[in-house]
Structure 1
Amino acid sequence: MLKMPRPIYNNTAGLKYHTTQETLLYGTLSIGPIYIFLYINSVLLFTLRSKSVFCETSRYILLYNLLFADTVYLVSSSLLYLLAAFRIKLTFYMCSVVILPPQLMSLISPLTLTVMSLERFVAICYPLRHAVIITIRNTGVAITLVWVTSSLSIIIRFLILLCSNTEFSFNLQMKDFCSDETLFLVPMSYHFITAYSGIVFLSAGVTIICSYIGVTLVARSASTNKASARKASQTLLLHLFQLGLILISTFHSNIITAAATIMERSHVLRLYSLSFICLNILPRCLSTFIYGLRDQTIRPFLIQHLCCLMPKSKSKPC
């Protein structure tokens, strides 16, 4: 018989949840920044579809995919947080629907960062071949592979859950609030996603580091555009920093699981709220700063749209 793992919050019924004041405080600190960045991300997504230059440039198409993934992740994560804060328990079927978007987007972001780093590497190191290698078609193929790779991990985890526990039913009521740990109870699923995520992040990290080294070597060459290469190397460093933060956020579950074995439920929930703010929200908000404010092409349109000043001339639709 399959031995089920210990639930994350294996505490007695007498332990307390947040007080009303704590719920409001953590809710404001968590959901408030999310709404602010959701607004900024939405404006930036609109900006990337308001001009033909953004729709016809591979770099901005990849940025749109990254921002879309981060935005969906913020929305779905805030929903999960609210369900947990208000102690709303779902059926396994409803939980699987809610948990699917953040689990899918959690791998799309690092993979997209990898493709964006390769695009910058080709642009700086092979400028004459950039237009041939980085085409709209190839960009579409790369984005499709990113989504297929991310979707594959989710499909395999659900298959492991169904095959390992024949008595499992999606119509059952969950005993705790919806989360990745309470849904995928099978140990094999945990080991699989740990290995799968490790391979993804290791590959992404090696790719970004190699791209950074290549761009840095080009930046030191006297026969190249040092300013452009230097800016690209700085962007790759920011990509690596963002990837590191996303990698740390994947340990969110491990931190909560370990804390639940030594702490009371009320303290675990406080830790859950704080780690949610620091580990889940922050990494998904960096794309706006890295591109929205640093990119000289996007910046004027973004500021214009944020200030609700629409362009006087009609833009060519994408």
Structure 2
Amino acid sequence: MMDTNQSQINITVGLQYQGLLGIVLFFIQTAVPSCVFLFINGTLLFTLRSKPVFRETSRYILLYNLLFADTVLLTNSQLLYIIAACRIRLIYPVCGAALMLSHLTTVISPLTLVVMSLERYVAVCYPLRHATIITIKNTELAIIVVWAFSSLSVLTRVLLILNFPFAELENLQMKDFCGKESMLLDPRSDIYEKTFTCFLFASAGVTVTCSYIGVMVAARSASTDKASAKKARNTLLLHLVQLGLSLSSTIHNPLLFSIPKSLDRVTTVRIQIVIYLCIIILPRCLSGLIYGLRDQTIRPVFMHLCCQWKRSPSLSDVPTKDKV
């Protein structure tokens, strides 16, 4: 799951074969997209806390939690990426803390998608009970459970790592760049990593899929609002896409290893950068793009970002009707 932080090792090896221009292009290709998406996510996070309609609607509270986790993960991954590209080797405690933060936010994202899917399912299948089931208090409780479960997973990983005899090391300076493989010092850590990842995404996938099927069945009922059911169905389908993209990060390293060895170093590095952009950066920014473009309450923010020459609508003019 933390393969997102290992890509920098292979890419850094290739950078030594490039000149200054190649290194500059490398930073432009990776840092600029990250900064753009971080700006978009940051603006959305600010927007979702700027008005009561966002703070008092469960769907937007869950969206804020999802965006926050993705933004932290993107920032942390990009920092580790740049550190490795600059050939800076960290000490084990610092690297471990960075990787645990990545794991925490990586787990939070699919779990939040699950809760958001259940919220849409209740809204369509039990519209009369939606207001009593999906309350602000219950939403906050669900978020606490998500963070607690993710933190428990992090604690388990820390305990497994601490089994390694660090006292036998000459010093805590890492001999390699900070990445998942560098911190899997105990074979049990690797087993836990693979088992937990399979369990997490299998459970999340089944839950979101069942919610989608439930909405499809409810849409055929005469008593169901067809427009609301269609929007919920499309939203759940997008959640499945988001979940799939999040899962794609687990195949990042196998993709890197599958690159033909016969290619020259420069071409290899360029392919690795494309894989990093598509598998690591894009999934962490999809939530902002999806909700920013589809939701009529948030859309004015995106219009302002894309058309800066146009006067941005004030928050007081933003419609409050639920459109997703």
Q: What do residues 176-214 of structure 1 show as CA deviations (whole Å, max 9, x unaligned)?
A: 111122122222111101111111111110011000011
Residues 150 and 220 (structure 1), Cα distance of their counterparts in 2 relative to 1, 3 Å cut = same
* Alpha-carbon distance in 2 for matches of 1:75, 1:50: 23
> 1:250 aligns to what SS in structure 2?
helix
Q: What do residues 249-286 of structure 1 show as CA deviations (whole Å, max 9, x unaligned)?
A: 12223444x45996899577555433221110111111
Other-structure match for 2:161: 161
1:18: how far off? 4.6
* Alpha-carbon distance in 2 for matches of 1:9, 1:112: 28
Alignment of structure 1 residues 1-318 onto 2, 5 Å = 17-19=16-18, 20-165=20-165, 167=167, 172-256=172-256, 258=257, 266=265, 271-304=271-304, 307=308, 309=312, 311=314
Residues 66 and 142 (structure 1), Cα distance of their counterparts in 2 relative to 1, 3 Å cut = same
Residues 166 and 77 (structure 1), Cα distance of their counterparts in 2 relative to 1, 3 Å cut = closer
* Alpha-carbon distance in 1 for matches of 2:62, 2:282: 20
Contact in 2 for aligned 1:15/1:264 (Cα 8 Å): no
The one-letter code of the counterpart of 1:134 is: I
Count of matched residue positions in the alignment of Structure 1 and Structure 2: 306
Q: What is the aligned-residue RMSD (CA, Å)?
A: 3.0
Other-structure match for 2:322: none
1:314: how far off? 11
* Alpha-carbon distance in 1 for matches of 2:8, 2:44: 39
The one-letter code of the counterpart of 2:120 is: R
TM-score under structure 2 length normalisation: 0.85
* Alpha-carbon distance in 1 for matches of 2:87, 2:42: 29
* Alpha-carbon distance in 2 for matches of 1:183, 1:263: 30
**Gaps spanning 5+ residues in structure 2: where?**
1-5, 319-324
Contact in 2 for aligned 1:157/1:184 (Cα 8 Å): no
Identity %: 51
* Alpha-carbon distance in 1 for matches of 2:182, 2:145: 29
* Alpha-carbon distance in 2 for matches of 1:262, 1:200: 33
1:21: how far off? 3.2
TM-score under structure 1 length normalisation: 0.86
Contact in 2 for aligned 1:80/1:178 (Cα 8 Å): yes
1:106: how far off? 0.9
